[in-house]
Amino acid sequence: MAPKDYVSRGQSKKQPPPRQPFPWIRLSITLILIIGFVAFLWYIQDKQADVVEKQRATPTQKKDPLPEKPKEKWEFMKILPDPNTTVEVEVPDQPESNKTYIMQCGSFRKLAQAEAMRATIAFQGLESKVKTTDGKNGVWHRVVLGPYSSKRDGERDRHKLRRASITTCQIWLDN
């Protein structure tokens, strides 16, 4: 069997579509609309100029003078003291308290879990301790920071740990 030539088969010579005639009607309508719009704007401008000339030609009437300033009904401006005076306030010193605070960040049954929490806290630059207690519920290993002389110091460290995604810390009074 002889090989068939499929390449020449798909190449039929098509003639380009005929050119459309120039749209004279559209062009003439567009030009008429543009000329009409320009004439309309010119007409409006002339009318506004006439109005302005009429306003200039007519004398303006004098406006009524401003009414007198009303008398104040309130007397608080006279009663209040001079704004330049100063007021002295005595603030009593806060008594020193012997309260100390501790922050507990976890309580675990296994010592390995408590040491892992302690290591995570150490990576944040804070020193913690693992306290082991033996109660009626069994042995617990608590991860504790402190003692702090004020609760504000404890809160500062707690916010530092919160930024490191350690959100289990609680601040309590130390017994």
At residue 13, the pLDDT reads 66
Q: Which CATH superfamily is domain 101-173 in?
A: Sporulation related repeat (3.30.70.1070)
Query: Token digits for 19?
Result: 């050119």
CA angle 117, 121, 123 (to 5 degrees): 120
Neighbours of 39 (CB within 10 A): 10
Could you say which DSSP state residue 76 is in? Answer: H
Q: 66-75 burial by CB neighbour count: b if 16+ within 10 A, else e?
A: eeeeeeeeee
pLDDT in tens, the chain (175 residues): 667 766 666 666 677 788 888 889 999 999 999 999 999 999 988 888 887 777 777 666 667 788 888 887 888 777 777 777 787 888 888 777 788 999 999 999 999 999 999 999 999 999 999 999 998 999 999 999 999 999 999 999 999 999 999 999 999 998 7
Residues 6 or more apart whose CB falls under 8 angstroms from that of 34 comprise none
Cα(127)–Cα(21) distance, integer angstroms? 91
The residue extents of the domains of the chain are 25-57, 101-173
